[in-house]
């Protein structure tokens, strides 16, 4: 039988969402509640029979009994032991709860929070803080917040493998799946690249390419992140390596007491770069752990090893790879410098190449590179082809990003967030366009659809208003007319002219884009007070990638010395006075391996004896000096070869060692050359011979009369200068002593 009275539900079924009571405590009066409760107990007969004796006992205690909410029976609850059922889990088995009240708590009647705060303030500090929110960064000791430092470290981790921030930084996944090695069955016994391994790669800096050193932070193979990968798989197109850049500075005796290594690594600010796997070389440098544990471990390198690594990377570098290299930011730690000169330059002209690759426009000849960091510039360039390229006029559908005409590029739009937002390109649903996948920064749909002074193109994907299929791809603005004529032939297209019609402003600006598509834009000058700082880089000629090739070729010439006989010895001795083109200062330290000192000494003695024999041979054939372009990079891998490599050479003064320019040789007023056969490569500055600036070089002949090969002037037969001044011998002696000292100082450089 149904009644109008509702049956109350059990309390367990009441949820916070269904409860409608008031939780406001401002109108609650505790004494009133106490009196109301007491009246309820007295009037309810079943309850009063049980509770009435206890109530009379409580009333008989009085106000001075010490009974309150913390001591309901006159005893403090906090001092009583817990019941066995109420034992907390934190207590260890066999540990009894303490009955003593902590000294830093104030309990009982008259509890006052202000008094407790005052007591805490007067208490002495227990000691130094255990935790600090700041840490010291590097050797500079700069203080940085821990949260900021951890955030910068986590910047390289694009996906979170765990909800715990510390585990996410360590790369520990949440469920610990079994790690797999890509391209190998086991990490043991297989040449692999592992996270935190040292590697070398290349970076771009002011349109130049330099060698860089770093530690691996992340390895991406396709759509998955792995911890290690076989080195054979690094050449795959979908393999990318993210590494932290480390600084290389000149090593000191404190770093390496043997002086064998001349470079050491040092950690700097967190600078990360992402390159393709084939542009990475795993290295195994010498690791040093300082005895002072406050200093960080570091690696040691040799200059010739770093130059050889640079040459190896340049050998396999392609135009596409060179253009895809990341650009380094302006910093003092890169490129690596020695005495203010940038080291480890990759000698290549691939960045200036006009070859067409996947980073260039597919229809421009000469090639025009695409800036994937600026999608709007790509839209403008491709739209100019669509409007003014006659070869594209016959196609009805042309992709606005890659100029593909096969219809494989399909773009879809989606509604943006917010009530007033318009359409946006759905990059996840869109497919087929290779340029879209390579964009580093996507374009904004609303700004790209408007014609402006800097971006006149309005060619963006649009939804066709007549297509009933909601899953149909969007149509580019410049293709909308052809789409309506083909897919909707019965519709009056004049009604939808506003969908594709261009303004005069846009057409004129697009003509300018088409005409200037091959022009290179000048870089904008940074705005600031004063003049702009010059960004010219001084290159160290002794640390370029072609130095490894040059040194290797000299070794190859040395191996063929016995096969070529005395003619080869004559050529090598004559080259003693040839100076290889080098802008490096003459006082730069020459680094040698201590283990090869004996071999170098023997080679020096053999070379000096050969020079003396050649200079005394007056009837020998003249030396032919060829000037060959040094930019021949057909083979950049260092190797020993029996074939001599032709190098660009310049004549040098045999007295001071400086280069004799072509203007000086043509003028013949400040330099003099020996006129004997076989000595055409020997030049001297007149100031080095101390013979005066009025010396007529055409009437004199250089003779070598001493064991050190220093000349004296002898008049030519048939000239009026038959006699020599009395001070000639003293001048020759002084010049000979000066030349001997300079020759001894340059002996190591000449041998190198």
Q: Quick check: 386 pLDDT over 80?
A: yes
How do the residues of the chain divide into helix, strand and coil, expressed in percent and rounded to 5? 35, 15, 50
Q: Quick check: 108 pLDDT over 70?
A: no
Please give the residue that has the higher pLDDT: either 588 or 57: 57
Distances (CA, A) of 89 to 84, 97, 99, 234, 284: 11, 12, 18, 54, 52
Please give the residue that has the higher pLDDT: either 288 or 698: 288
- Two structure tokens written together for 554: 């000299």
Contact indicator for 671, 663 with CB cutoff of 8 Å:
no
Neighbours of 534 (CB within 10 A): 6
Would you state the pLDDT for residue 299? 92
Q: Give the lowest-confidence range in 53-67, 404-418, 423-437, 688-702.
A: 688-702
Q: What is the DSSP string of 457-511?
A: ----EE--TT---TTPPPEEGGGHHHHHHHH-TTS-GGGGGGGTPPPHHHHHHHH
- Strand pairing of 272-276 and 239-250? antiparallel
Neighbours of 634 (CB within 10 A): 5
Contact indicator for 153, 270 with CB cutoff of 8 Å:
yes
Average pLDDT on 577-604 reads 40
Would you state the pLDDT for residue 432? 85
Average pLDDT on 356-372 reads 76
Q: What is the pTM of this model?
A: 0.42
Helix extents (H) in 395-474: 434-438, 445-448
| Per-residue confidence band for 478, with pLDDT thresholds at 50, 70 and 90 | very high
Helix extents (H) in 44-89: 45-61
| Per-residue confidence band for 471, with pLDDT thresholds at 50, 70 and 90 | confident
Please give the residue that has the higher pLDDT: either 41 or 258: 258
Would you state the pLDDT for residue 419? 74
Q: Quick check: 154 pLDDT over 90?
A: no
Average pLDDT on 253-267 reads 87
How many Å separate Cα 67 from the centre of its chain?
Answer: 73
Would you state the pLDDT for residue 168? 64
Would you state the pLDDT for residue 215? 92
Residue 713 neighbours by CB under 8 Å, 6+ apart:
689, 691, 695, 700, 701, 702, 703, 724, 728
The dihedrals phi and psi of 394, each to the nearest 5 degrees, come to -85, -10
Dihedral sign from CA coordinates of 292, 297, 302, 307: negative
In our burial notation (b when 16+ CB lie closer than 10 A, e otherwise), range 288-300 reads beeeeeeeeebbb
Average pLDDT on 290-301 reads 85
Q: Of 86-90, 265-269, 492-496, where does the model show the most confidence?
A: 492-496
Would you state the pLDDT for residue 528? 46
Distances (CA, A) of 124 to 115, 120, 131, 514: 16, 8, 18, 78
Would you state the pLDDT for residue 639? 45
When the pLDDT of each residue in the chain is averaged and rounded to a whole number, the result is 69
Q: Count CA atoms within 13 Å of residue 302 on its CB side.
A: 14
How many Å separate Cα 496 from the centre of its chain?
Answer: 50
Q: Could you read off the pLDDT of 234-254 as tens digits, one per residue?
A: 988 889 999 999 999 999 888
Q: Could you read off the pLDDT of 407-439 as tens digits, one per residue?
A: 889 999 988 887 777 888 888 888 888 888 888
Would you state the pLDDT for residue 632? 44
In angstroms, rounded to a whole number, what is the distance separating the alpha carbons of residues 130 and 132?
7
- Among all chains, which residue has been given the structure tokens 């130095």? 547
- Among all chains, which residue has been given the structure tokens 């021949």? 632
Please give the residue that has the higher pLDDT: either 669 or 534: 669
| Per-residue confidence band for 657, with pLDDT thresholds at 50, 70 and 90 | low
Q: Give the lowest-confidence range in 241-250, 358-367, 384-393, 520-529.
A: 520-529
Contact indicator for 179, 185 with CB cutoff of 8 Å:
no
Residue 281, strand partner residues: 200
Q: First and final CA of the chain: distance in angstroms?
A: 114
């Amino acid at each position: 039988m149904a009644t109008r009275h509702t049956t109350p539900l059990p309390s367990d079924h009441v949820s916070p969402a269904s409860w409608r009571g008031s939780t406001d405590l401002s109108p609650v009066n505790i004494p009133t509640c106490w009196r109301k409760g007491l009246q309820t107990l007295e009037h309810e007969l079943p309850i009063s029979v049980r509770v009435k004796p206890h109530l009379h006992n409580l009333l008989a205690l009085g106000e001075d009994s010490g009974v309150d909410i913390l001591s309901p029976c006159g005893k403090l609850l906090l001092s009583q032991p817990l019941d066995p059922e109420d034992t907390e889990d934190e207590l260890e088995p066999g540990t009894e709860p303490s009955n003593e009240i902590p000294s830093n708590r104030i309990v009982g009647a008259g509890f006052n929070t202000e008094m407790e705060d005052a007591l805490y303030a007067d208490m002495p500090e227990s000691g130094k803080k255990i935790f600090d929110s700041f840490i010291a960064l590097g050797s500079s000791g700069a203080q940085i917040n821990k949260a900021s430092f951890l955030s910068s470290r986590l910047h390289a981790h694009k996906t979170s493998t765990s909800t715990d921030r510390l585990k996410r930084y360590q790369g520990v996944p949440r469920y610990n799946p079994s790690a797999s090695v890509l391209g190998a069955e086991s990490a043991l016994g297989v040449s692999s690249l592992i996270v935190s391994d040292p590697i070398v790669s290349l970076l771009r800096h002011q349109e130049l390419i330099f060698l860089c050193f770093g530690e691996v932070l992340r390895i991406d193979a396709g759509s998955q992140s792995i911890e290690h990968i076989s080195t054979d798989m690094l050449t795959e197109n979908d393999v990318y390596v993210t590494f932290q850049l480390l600084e290389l500075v000149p090593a000191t005796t404190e770093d390496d007491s043997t002086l064998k290594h001349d470079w050491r690594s040092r950690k700097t600010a967190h600078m990360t770069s992402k390159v393709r796997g084939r542009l990475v070389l795993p290295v195994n440098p010498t690791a040093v752990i300082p005895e002072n544990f406050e200093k960080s471990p570091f690696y040691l390198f040799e200059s010739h090893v770093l130059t050889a690594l640079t040459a190896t990377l340049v050998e396999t570098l392609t135009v596409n790879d060179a253009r895809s290299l990341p650009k380094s930011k302006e910093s003092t730690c890169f490129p690596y410098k020695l005495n203010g000169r940038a080291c480890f330059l990759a000698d290549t002209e691939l960045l200036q190449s006009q070859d067409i690759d996947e980073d260039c426009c597919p229809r421009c000849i000469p090639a025009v590179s695409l800036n994937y960091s600026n999608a709007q510039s790509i839209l403008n360039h491709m739209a100019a082809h669509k409007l003014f390229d006659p070869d594209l006029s016959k196609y009805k559908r042309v992709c606005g990003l890659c100029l593909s005409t096969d219809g494989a590029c399909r773009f879809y739009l989606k509604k943006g967030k917010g009530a007033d937002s318009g359409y946006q390109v759905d990059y996840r649903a869109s497919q087929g366009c290779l340029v879209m996948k390579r964009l580093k920064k996507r374009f904004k749909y609303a700004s790209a659809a408007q014609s402006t002074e800097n971006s006149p193109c309005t060619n963006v994907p649009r939804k066709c208003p007549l297509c009933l299929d909601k899953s149909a791809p969007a149509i580019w603005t410049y293709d909308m007319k052809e789409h309506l004529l083909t897919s909707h032939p019965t519709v009056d297209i004049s009604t939808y002219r506003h969908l594709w019609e261009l303004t005069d402003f846009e057409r004129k600006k697009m003509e300018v884009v088409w005409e200037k598509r091959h022009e290179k834009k000048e870089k904008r000058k940074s705005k600031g007070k004063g003049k702009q700082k010059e960004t010219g880089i001084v290159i160290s000629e002794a640390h370029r990638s072609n130095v490894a090739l040059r040194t290797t070729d000299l070794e190859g010439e040395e191996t063929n010395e016995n096969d070529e006989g005395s003619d080869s010895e004559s050529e090598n001795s004559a080259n003693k006075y040839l100076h290889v083109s080098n802008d490096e200062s003459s006082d730069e330290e020459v680094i040698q391996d201590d283990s090869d000192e004996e071999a170098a000494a023997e080679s020096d003695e053999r070379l000096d004896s050969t020079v003396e024999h050649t200079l005394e041979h007056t009837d020998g054939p003249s030396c032919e000096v060829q000037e060959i372009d040094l930019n021949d990079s057909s083979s950049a891998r260092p190797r020993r070869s029996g074939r001599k490599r032709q190098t660009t050479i310049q004549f040098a003064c045999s007295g001071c060692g400086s280069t004799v320019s072509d203007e000086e040789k043509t003028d013949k007023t400040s330099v003099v050359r020996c006129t004997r056969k076989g000595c055409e490569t020997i030049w001297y500055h007149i100031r080095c011979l101390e013979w005066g600036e009025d010396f007529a070089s055409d009437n004199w002949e250089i003779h070598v009369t001493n064991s050190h090969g220093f000349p004296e002037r002898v008049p030519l037969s048939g000239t009026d200068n038959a006699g020599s001044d009395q001070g000639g011998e003293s001048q020759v002696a002084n010049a000979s002593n000066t030349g001997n000292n300079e020759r001894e100082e340059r002996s190591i450089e000449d041998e190198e």
